[in-house]
Amino acid sequence: MTETPFVPAVDVTALLLDTDTLDAFLGALAHHALDLAPNATGCGVTLERQGRPVTVSSAGPTATELDEAQYGQDDGPCLQAMRTGTTISVPDTLNEKRWGTYPAYAATHGARSSLSLPIAPHTHTAGALNLYAPHPHAFDTTDHQPLHLLAAQATGAIALAQRLSDARQFTDDLHTALQSRTTIDQAIGIIMGQQRCTPDHAFTILRSASQHRNTKLRDLCAELITTTTGQPPAATPLHPRP
């Protein structure tokens, strides 16, 4: 009896911590999937973003092309795996009757068999791990358990990475908002000095001018500061609060 060769498990959490961005993590994930399926020559990672499937990372020369062919007809094994949460195996694309013209396209583009495993099924980050091989029945002798474990671990890691990415975006948005607030505060100070008025009245003057000129308030304030001082708005408050 032939023993299945030992394949070391992938520590997806460590992989996530070792990469700086979500894209880098997904790229490493695709390459690790190829390590677990030595007969495969390509791997694509599909994630649904804003209601559309996107190959967010790939390894191998044709994975992205094969993924996108399925997106074009809105049908195929990777989309079925993503939408149903089940593993989809294609033993031989030349004998495959599902998914319209896609199997013939895959065969002519060097994929005679494929394996698609769901990632984060039934969530807003649903996706699939798609493996492609140039020979039929290439995954018949592959141990699927490590691949299933990788996809299952990726489910939690991608959700975490997405939260971290969202947090960074929130931080960037907050920084932009604070910069806008600083610019507006500086402009209010200028109007107060010119008109000898209260901060509320100065803000009303700026807002009315913004509406009249159909210009964003921050842009109007930046223009006022530059015109008055000869310098662009300061990046930080002139008089930060304690």
Per-residue pLDDT of the chain (242 residues; tens, 9 = 90+): 334 443 444 565 566 566 666 677 788 888 889 999 999 999 999 988 777 888 888 898 889 999 999 999 999 999 999 999 999 999 999 999 999 999 999 999 999 999 999 998 877 778 999 999 999 999 999 999 999 988 887 777 676 666 666 666 656 655 666 677 788 888 888 999 998 999 889 888 988 888 888 888 888 888 888 888 888 876 554 444 43
Q: What's residue 235's pLDDT?
A: 59
Domains annotated on the chain, with CATH? 12-167 (3.30.450.40), 171-229 (1.10.10.10)
> Token pair for residue 50?
């804003």
Residue 141 has, within 13 A of its CA and on its CB side, a CA count of 11
**DSSP track, the chain:** -PPPPP-PPP-HHHHHHH-SSHHHHHHHHHHHHHHH-TT--EEEEEEEETTEEEEEEEESSSHHHHHHHHHHHT-SHHHHHHHH-S-EEES-GGG--SSTTHHHHHHHTT-SEEEEEEESTTSTT-EEEEEEESSTTTTTTS-HHHHHHHHHHHHHHHHHHHHHHHHHHHHHHHHHHHHHHHHHHHHHHHHHHHHT--HHHHHHHHHHHHHHHT--HHHHHHHHHHHHHSSPPPSS-SS---
